[in-house]
Structure 1
Amino acid sequence: MSELINDTNIIWVTGNKGFIGNAICTCLENEGFTVVGTDAELSVCESERLEAFAEEIQPRAVINCAGIRRDATSLSNRVKAYEVNAIGARNVALAANTVGATIIQVSSDDVYSSKLDEPVNEFDNPHPNTPYGKSKRAGEMMVRNITSDHIIIRSSWLYHTSGGRLREILDAAAAGANCPARTDQFAAPTSVDTYVKFMIKVLERDGTGTFHIASRGQASRYDFAAKVLELAGYNPESILVPEADPKTAENVVLESLMLEMFGAELPTWEDDLESYMKAAGLATS
């Protein structure tokens, strides 16, 4: 790593083999940054090793994508979730602070209640009601307490071509299979390209604090899937199977008020999706 020490454009990404981490690394590299990624070989639970690594590579910023996922977090493993999502975030913040780097903590809309009456911005108080949301909220608080040189980013329904919901929808269509889609879960779908673009804007402007990066508007999971299929040239009604369940209904729509105050304007979720799919060669028109 010694040849990297004089590179003032180094971004260290933890959890780089995960869905979000891998996509962020690709986008940053495309923007000309030197990206150093680590994953399980350098656990965020090992504070001394993290600090030694930070000293070695001297990053400009550290993006902490490491974490226990929402679908892997429950009451039965909440200790592990807190160990990684909260204490791990603290350890990464300490390592970043050691070398004067900005820590960018990847958080989630799960820090809010899953059923809200109206959109929420960065000044609204979080009230998580799931083990995952509580662990991510604890991670935010840990980072805030360690250093003022932090950027906490919340988003929702991030999608990417390499996997996740977008790929599931397109794969089902290509196979001529049906695809279930919830009509009672709402958020603001956001492409990973838009996510990283505005993350870089915040970093370049020396922003600090908490930021929501979410496309404008809101959609149900059914709305999102239908738009994906429409753009790809399929008939959504022949593929999608609408589903609903009051017990797991969700409505968490983020507003990017801080970015608006920066003078930035995020795209609507429809425009974001269309631009992203066209750039990826997935849209028919």
Structure 2
Amino acid sequence: MKKHILVTGANGQLGNSIKKQENQWPHFRFIYTDSKTLDITNQNVVETFFKKNSIEYCINCAAYTAVDQAETDQELAFKINALGPKYLALACKASNAVLIHISTDFVFDGCKTSPYTETDTPNPINAYGRTKLQGENSIVQTTEQYIIIRTSWLYSEYGHNFMKTMLRLSKTRSEISVVNDQVGSPTYAGDLATAILKIIDSKTIQYGLYHYSNTVETSWYDFAKTIFKFANKDVKVNPIASAHYPTLAKRPNYSVLQSEKLLEQFNIKASRWESHLKKVLEGLT
């Protein structure tokens, strides 16, 4: 009997990474949607979709992720990041389905100097983080059958991400400046996709909140240097302070996530971000 899995936001980094692995999970049946085929901000549309389709698991990859733009477009960010998850949670509850929702390290303020655990108190410092936290809270208040996974600094061969931005800049620039006082953990979207599918495949699911990111913390500056090194791009990277690179949204200075709980509950071990980066760049360059 195949497990029926709905993937929302399927054209983004994570959704495409799940599609790439589909053939490795022959006992799963995937339904992929985007904002055109399933508007998660419309409660009636979500309810109708769930009634028409037999869904056992919903992986919500849909999100408003433009961090700076969210500051001036808070209404849309709220609809997608907070209301959407609530409507999916209501539909999952009515269908007795499990909701797997992706959240972010940006729910934290970055004041710690050691990795954030699931028991640390969120305190978002930008509109994006606030709307993502509202989404988390709406799920917790709506259904018991949920897995919320916070991840960080997602990169892949798909969509928009820091790695692809650096590669694009390398075509026209021989020197760039990147902030060196924001520290986190880059996470390969393919790795996160595997972790999610392993959770669904596990015999017993421990519902709740989890953190997942690849291991070894780094700064955006060092991440950029590694990207150019692995891609054999001759680009000089200059370190600058965040104060000298003003953005609409404030970013946490430290947002490394501790992934031990996922290892304990599901035996899913996070790997180092560099190992995947090298493979991805080999495929792109």
TM tier relative to shorter chain: 0.7 to 0.9
Residue type of the alignment partner of 1:264: I
Q: Map 1:43-122 onto structure 2 (within 5 A).
A: 43-69=39-65, 70-74=67-71, 76-122=72-118
For structure 2, the residue ranges without an aligned partner over 5 or more in a row are: none
Query: SS where residue 73 of structure 1 aligns?
Result: helix
Between 1 and 2, higher relative CO (CA 8 Å, sep ≥ 6) is seen in 2
Matched, 1:270 2:269: no
Contact 1:66–1:84 at 8 Å: present in 2 too? Answer: yes
CA distance in structure 1 between the aligned counterparts of 2:173 and 2:132, rounded to whole angstroms: 38
- Give the corresponding residue for 1:260: 263
Residue 240 (structure 1) aligned to one of 212, 237, 249: 237
Contact 1:191–1:276 at 8 Å: present in 2 too? Answer: no
Residue 22 (structure 1) aligned to one of 16, 35, 38: 16
Query: SS where residue 265 of structure 1 aligns?
Result: coil
Matched, 1:178 2:175: yes
- Give the corresponding residue for 2:226: 227
Deviations 1:239-271, CA, capped at 9 Å, x for gaps: 323322237562111110212213332112223
Aligned length: 272
- Give the corresponding residue for 1:203: 200
Residue 136 (structure 1) aligned to one of 109, 113, 132: 132
CA distance in structure 2 between the aligned counterparts of 1:95 and 1:61, rounded to whole angstroms: 11
Q: CA RMSD in A?
A: 2.3
Closer/same/farther in 2, CA of residues 170 and 254 from structure 1, 3 Å limit: same
Query: SS where residue 101 of structure 2 aligns?
Result: strand
Following TM superposition, by how much is the alpha carbon of 1:31 offset from its aligned partner in structure 2, in angstroms?
A: 4.2
Compute the TM-score of the two structures, normalised by the length of structure 2: 0.86
Percentage of pairs with the same residue: 27
Query: SS where residue 251 of structure 1 aligns?
Result: coil
For structure 1, the residue ranges without an aligned partner over 5 or more in a row are: 1-6
Residue type of the alignment partner of 1:136: K
